[in-house]
Amino acid sequence: MEAYRTEIIAACVGIYFVLCIVVGIWAMRKTHSSKDFFMAGRDLGILVTSIAIFSSAMSGFGFVGGPGLVYRMGISSLWIVISTTIGYAICFFLLGGKLREWAVKRDSISLPDVIMARYDSPLAGILTAFSIVLGVLGYLATQIAAMATVLQSLAAGLTDMGEVPLVYCALFSTTLLVFYCVTGGIIASVYTDLVQGVIMMVAAVMVFLTAIWVVDGGLRGITETLIKDDPASMSPWGSKGMLGCLSWYFVFALGVSGQPQVITKLMMTRRAEDARWTLPATIIGYVITAMLWIALGLAMRALVVSGAHPELANADHAAPAFLQGLTHPILAGVVFAGLFAAIMSTADAFLNIGAAALVHDIPMALRGTPLRDELRYARLATVLLGAFAMMAALNLGEMVALLGAFGWGTFAAALVPTVAIGLNWPRATAPAACTAILSSLAVNFSLKAFDIALPLSIDAGAAALLVSIVLFVTVSLLTPDRSGGKSEPTPDKNDSAIEPTLN
């Protein structure tokens, strides 16, 4: 079986690709309107919603970047992992019921829709849509670049013709992704997320067991080896340091409530009370998947430190090296499929949110009414966004990495005050929302673009979030409340006018 390792991995990945296509075709038959395309007809159950939420948050970064960080820094990046329990608790406390309530009562089909209605401010809506489009392009391009790179390394072992050009791999990955997103919109996205989430969980458990099996003494053996090498790397702060790790904890915990790919799912549930059990189900899914992040990274660090494995050329090779050298071919196949699943589950969510921003939110803010044939434009925008992100991935190089890194912190700093706090605090005002979004873009982009490092490895996104919260609360307290303090939605007077044009 070992002789056919590459073929077995390719077969597992191929089966997964076929599943995505099948789900896309199935979802196309259920997509009749733009509300179906962007909001899944607000008909998602607990299991589908919870898996869609955690799998959109756990991108390819969780499967490749996460173990790489543990390999490089020791325990530091576990602060990102452990922030999830409090992060999702805050997210559901503040938005679990609220976002759905707004979505239903105002017939909102996107986050900027809700912002526009909450603050009675088209400018706040446009700024939200703009920051979403910027973040989406960056995230999407990095996900496409990651998919193309993994596919290229996989294809290299299958053909005697040498390396397959990256552009073909990017074209194939983007076509597959765009296909099921265009045909089935968010319905295809969330149901592929279901498949993807299950694959990710199975892969994570199997890798966890393998990782503690390959090192003598299991997790304790790994810990003892690493403490002997450098006790500080196994302390809670690893090599990043105390305040740097705590800044990660802060931005990842509070930042979940500002990630559009996560919180828009809360607008799609069938019943309001589904939020009750969606929260624990989401956390269970994330915790299971995160086992791969922890165990694989620590195992590879211990193996290399003890001399049982040659040094890696790059920290991000920790996961591929472990899978290629230390696992059964079928497990490697499942995990490679899980890796594609992790990347695609995030990418499809962004594709849908980006399309909503382009064909719904911006026209709504500028014209006050949606486009006439919104569903057709939504499909067209999905294709264009996919193509644009692919070209960016292939041509923009460092700019893509910049936009990708820009994503989480920007969404957190722009949307946590505006959405999570604003929907729960009647005194929050439109100028405060606009200030928070603009400060988030300015702080995050200048820190990244001019390569400004903060002291003590403080995360740039954490600093931007703190600045944005301070500005949001201060400006709200200093400006008059012209919207009448709408933290509770009232039915939209124009609902009846909007409803027919949605289809």
Interactions with other proteins, residue window 202-221 (CB under 8 A) = 218-220
Nearest residue (CB) to other proteins, 216 versus 499 = 499
Nearest residue (CB) to other proteins, 46 versus 155 = 46
x/- map, 48-87, other proteins, by CB under 8 A: -----------------------xxxxx--xx-xx--xx-
Q: Per CB under 8 A, which of residues 288..317 are in contact with other proteins?
A: 301, 304-305, 311-315
Query: What's the closest the beta carbon of residue 263 comes to other proteins, in angstroms?
Result: 14
Name 156's Cβ contacts closer than 8 Å, sequence gap at least 6: 162, 163, 164
In the set 28, 167, 223, 445, which binds other proteins (CB under 8 A)?
223
Query: What's the closest the beta carbon of residue 116 comes to other proteins, in angstroms?
Result: 18
Q: Are 55 and 339 in contact (CB under 8 A)?
A: no
Please choose, out of 191-199, 241-249, 322-330, 350-358, the segment that lies near other proteins by the rule CB under 8 A. Answer: 241-249
140, HSE (Cβ side, Cα atoms, 13 Å): 29
Name 185's Cβ contacts closer than 8 Å, sequence gap at least 6: 27, 31, 36, 37, 38, 40, 352, 378, 379, 382
Nearest residue (CB) to other proteins, 86 versus 383 = 86
Q: Is residue 453 involved in binding other proteins (CB under 8 A)?
A: yes
Tokens standing for residue 453: 């490092």
Q: Is residue 5 involved in binding other proteins (CB under 8 A)?
A: no
Q: Is residue 25 involved in binding other proteins (CB under 8 A)?
A: no
Q: Is residue 501 involved in binding other proteins (CB under 8 A)?
A: no
Q: Name the nearest CA neighbour of 378 among 189, 196, 192.
A: 189
Q: Is residue 328 involved in binding other proteins (CB under 8 A)?
A: no
Nearest residue (CB) to other proteins, 196 versus 476 = 476
Name 81's Cβ contacts closer than 8 Å, sequence gap at least 6: 66, 290, 293, 294
Q: Per CB under 8 A, which of residues 257..286 are in contact with other proteins?
A: 257, 270-273, 275-277, 279-280, 283
Q: Per CB under 8 A, which of residues 150..169 are in contact with other proteins?
A: none
Nearest residue (CB) to other proteins, 163 versus 273 = 273
First-residue to last-residue Cα distance in the chain: 52
Nearest residue (CB) to other proteins, 47 versus 469 = 469
Query: What's the closest the beta carbon of residue 301 comes to other proteins, in angstroms?
Result: 7
Burial class (CB in 10 A: 0-12, 13-18, 19+), 189: buried
Q: Name the nearest CA neighbour of 482 among 442, 426, 434, 443.
A: 426
Rounded CA separation 372/501 (Å): 6
Q: Per CB under 8 A, which of residues 80..139 are in contact with other proteins?
A: 81-82, 85-86, 88-90, 92-94, 96-98, 100-101, 104-105, 107
H-helix or E-strand containing 390? helix 374-395
Nearest residue (CB) to other proteins, 208 versus 336 = 208
Q: Is residue 32 involved in binding other proteins (CB under 8 A)?
A: no
Query: What's the closest the beta carbon of residue 465 comes to other proteins, in angstroms?
Result: 8
Please choose, out of 147-155, 335-343, 379-387, 463-471, the segment that lies near other proteins by the rule CB under 8 A. Answer: 463-471
Q: Is residue 331 involved in binding other proteins (CB under 8 A)?
A: no
In the set 230, 373, 481, 492, which binds other proteins (CB under 8 A)?
230
CA 33 vs CA 24, 38, 39, 375, 464: distances in Å:
16, 9, 10, 6, 38
Tokens standing for residue 219: 């997790």
Phi/psi for 83 (5° steps) reads -75, -10
Q: Is residue 478 involved in binding other proteins (CB under 8 A)?
A: no
Rounded CA separation 464/461 (Å): 5
Nearest residue (CB) to other proteins, 31 versus 382 = 31
Q: Is residue 19 involved in binding other proteins (CB under 8 A)?
A: no
Q: Are 91 and 257 in contact (CB under 8 A)?
A: yes
Four-point Cα dihedral 76, 80, 83, 88, nearest 10: -170
Nearest-10 crossing angle of helices 460-478, 398-415: 40
Q: Is residue 483 involved in binding other proteins (CB under 8 A)?
A: no
The residue with tokens 């912190």 is 409
Query: What's the closest the beta carbon of residue 35 comes to other proteins, in angstroms?
Result: 8
SS3 44: strand
Please choose, out of 184-192, 332-340, 450-458, 478-486, the segment that lies near other proteins by the rule CB under 8 A. Answer: 450-458
Cβ neighbour number for residue 321 with a 10 Å cutoff: 21
Q: Is residue 233 involved in binding other proteins (CB under 8 A)?
A: yes
Rounded CA separation 212/301 (Å): 12
Please choose, out of 168-176, 194-202, 376-384, 449-457, the segment that lies near other proteins by the rule CB under 8 A. Answer: 449-457
